[in-house]
């Protein structure tokens, strides 16, 4: 039984390579391909098992563009998305800011993935990026779907 679980986990981690790339920011705007940290892999496997997984698969398959995760050196640019790139950083540092309700790596990545071009390709209408309407849309159509799957409190809007 344990061997089956290890093999299943390995297969799930291999699937991540079909849909995501990973890099690390070494200097401002200088990125290098790098190994994905285990905590990020674990969160992405969880996300891919949730209802978001099919939307990510469909979006990447239809656009032909993988989602690039970038470990940011700068906390002020962590947990943001631009195009198909998601910047992430340390979750504890993010939560210490007290900006929103408590977040996990999974909820933060689910939210930022919801902003990517590949994810938004699943929808005929998405509010303009950078607007409060777009943030609320992303909470509803990505983050809260993952939160519900995990049994976590729903955020419901971007101000929470």
| Model confidence pLDDT, tens digit, residues 56-83 | 999 999 999 999 999 998 877 889 999 9
Whether 3 shows a pLDDT value over 60: the answer reads: no
Number of structural domains the chain divides into: 1
Provide the pLDDT for residue 80. 92
Residue 99 has a pLDDT of 67
Q: How confident is the model at residue 96 (pLDDT cuts 50, 70, 90)?
A: confident
Residue 158, domain member (yes or no): no
Q: Are 79 and 87 in contact (CB under 8 A)?
A: yes
- Is 95 part of any domain? yes
pLDDT of amino acid 50: 95
Evaluate whether residue 7 is within a structural domain.
no
Domain for residue 11, yes or no? Answer: no
- The total of other beta-carbon atoms located within 10 Å of residue 159's CB is 12
pTM of the model: 0.89
CA distance linking residue 120 with residue 98, whole number of Å: 28
CB 150 within 8 A of CB 124: no
Q: Is 5 a member of any domain?
A: no
- 93 within a domain of the structure (yes/no): yes
């Amino acid at each position: 039984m344990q061997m089956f679980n290890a093999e299943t986990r390995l297969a799930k981690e291999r699937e991540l390579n079909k849909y995501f790339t990973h890099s690390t920011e070494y200097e401002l705007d200088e990125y290098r391909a790098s190994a994905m940290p285990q905590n990020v892999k674990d969160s992405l496997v969880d996300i891919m098992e949730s209802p978001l997984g099919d939307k990510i698969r469909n979006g990447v398959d239809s656009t032909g563009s993988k989602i690039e995760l970038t470990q940011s050196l700068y906390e002020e640019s962590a947990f943001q998305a631009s195009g198909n790139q998601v910047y992430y950083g340390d979750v504890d540092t993010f939560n210490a800011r007290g900006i929103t309700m408590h977040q996990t790596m999974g909820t933060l990545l689910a939210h930022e993935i919801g902003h990517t071009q590949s994810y938004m390709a699943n929808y005929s209408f998405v509010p303009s990026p950078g607007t409060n309407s777009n943030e609320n849309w992303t909470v509803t159509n990505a983050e809260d779907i993952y939160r519900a799957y995990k049994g976590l409190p729903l955020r419901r809007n971007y101000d929470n």
